[in-house]
Amino acid sequence: MLNVGIIVGSTRPGRNGEAVARWVHDVAAKRGDADYEIVDLKDYDLGNLDEPEHPSTGNYRNENTKRWSARIAALDAFVIVTPEYNNSYPGALKNALDHLYAEWTNKAAGFVGYGVDGAPRAISHLRHVLGLLGVATVSNQVGLSIHTDFLDGFHPAGMHEDRLGVVLDQVLAWGTALRTLRVPSQPAGV
C-alpha cells in the first residue's frame, strides 16, 4: 500500500487547515486503500531556508530539516491542504517545499484548498512549483469556501466528499505508477 501524507499547509494561529486535514484523513481512511497520515508543518519548525547548502545536495545540517526530509522521503504521495492568502499559498508551505528536493521527486500530489472561493490561485501556484520539483499533480481538486463550508465551524457540503474521492483515486493511481520510478525492480526469481 502507498503511504500518503496529508500536509497541513498553514502554520497560522487559528488556522482552519487542521480541521480540513482531519476531514480529509477521515474520508481517506475509510477507503482502506492506502496508509494516510496527517503531516503538520507546525511540527517541524523549519527555519526560513536556513540550510547552508542547496537542497539538491541532500546535505542537511539542522535536525528539523533532517526530520522533515525523513518524513517526506517515506511518503509516496501527498494531499496538500492549503488556504489561499493574498491570491497564493502560505509562505510556510513554500519554505517547506523549498527545504527539500529529491524527497519530492517522482511522487504525486492532489489538493484541497480553502478560502473565499476555494483557493484556485493558491493551487495553481502550487502546481507550478511542484512541477519544478518533479511532483506530478493530479487534475482534480477540492475547493472549500469560507462562505459556505465554514459557517459555525467546518461543515463541508456533501459534494466535497465525492470530489475528494476523485482526487484520492487519481493520487493513488499516479502515486502507484510513479513508485516504479523510485523503487528499483527486483530481478526475476529473487
Residue 35 within a domain: yes
Residue 119 within a domain: yes
* Domain boundaries, position 136: 3-182
Tell me if residue 32 falls in helix, strand or coil.
coil
Residue type, 50: D
pTM, two decimals, is: 0.94
- pLDDT tens digits for the chain (190 residues)? 999 999 999 999 999 999 999 999 999 999 999 999 999 999 999 999 899 999 999 999 999 999 999 999 999 999 999 999 999 999 999 999 999 999 999 999 999 999 999 999 999 999 999 999 999 999 999 999 999 999 999 999 999 999 999 999 999 999 999 999 987 655 555 4
Domain count of the fold of the chain: 1
Contact 81, 8 (CB under 8 A): yes
Residue 159 within a domain: yes
Report residue 112 as a C-alpha cell.
484541497
Contact 128, 159 (CB under 8 A): no
Residue 117 within a domain: yes
Which CATH number do you get for residue 144? 3.40.50.360
CA–CA separation, 127 and 139 (whole Å): 10
Residue 187 within a domain: no
Residue 25 within a domain: yes
Residue 190 within a domain: no
Instruction: State residue 122's pLDDT score.
Output: 98
